[in-house]
Amino acid sequence: MIICVTGKFGSGKTTVSKLLGFKAVNADYIGKKVFDKKKEEIKKLLGTLDKGKIRKKIFSDKRLLKRFNAIAHPEMIKIIKYEIRKNKGKNIVVDAALHYDLKLRDICDKIILVKRDKEKIIKTSKMSRKETEKIIRNQKVPAKADFVIVNNSSKEDLRKKTEEIKQELRKDF
């Protein structure tokens, strides 16, 4: 079974993915590998490889974001699909904020959407409020999900909610 865990930046996707205990495919990690692989194309497009400057540029200009994604996303999708094929027969969790942009619905058996109040995300973010708000504003989440976790409480509450979903998922194994 392939489970996609999605949600906006800072919502708790990675924590939920780890709590599920399945083989994990982390889109952020893959994105970093793709960034290194495509850095010449990225530098040509944006004039820099400084990730802070890149974030500011692409989240301030939707056309630049679209062009940046056209460089990174095809390679990310290819690697995610490879990781899934490589682990065929195992339960896999794909941790991807960009579930919608990466068009992962086609490869996921179940989707878990992790939601968190914007103010809680901003409070725990290491970036400025303005930067965090831009990222959140530009991220799309699926209109439909098989499970929704609202992560506005404690880590223990998140663990309990995730365990309940894991029990539901076991019925489909």
**Which pTM does this prediction carry?**
0.90
In the prediction, which pLDDT does 100 show? 64
What domain range is 55 assigned to? 2-170
Instruction: Give the whole-angstrom CA distance, residue 87 versus residue 107.
Output: 14
The CATH code of the domain that includes 86 is 3.40.50.300
Query: Does residue 68 have a pLDDT over 90?
Result: yes
Q: Round the average pLDDT of the chain to a whole number and report it.
A: 92
In the prediction, which pLDDT does 112 show? 96
Out of 47-61, 76-90, 98-112, 157-171, least confident range: 98-112
In the prediction, which pLDDT does 141 show? 83
Q: How many domains, the chain?
A: 1
| Angle subtended at Cα 125 by Cα 120 and Cα 127, rounded to the nearest 5 degrees | 140
Confidence label for 113 from pLDDT (cuts 50, 70 and 90): very high
What share of the chain in percent tops pLDDT 70? 98
Instruction: Give the whole-angstrom CA distance, residue 8 versus residue 112.
Output: 12
Closest by Cα among 73, 158, 159 to 115? 158
Tally of CB atoms within 10 A around 123: 11
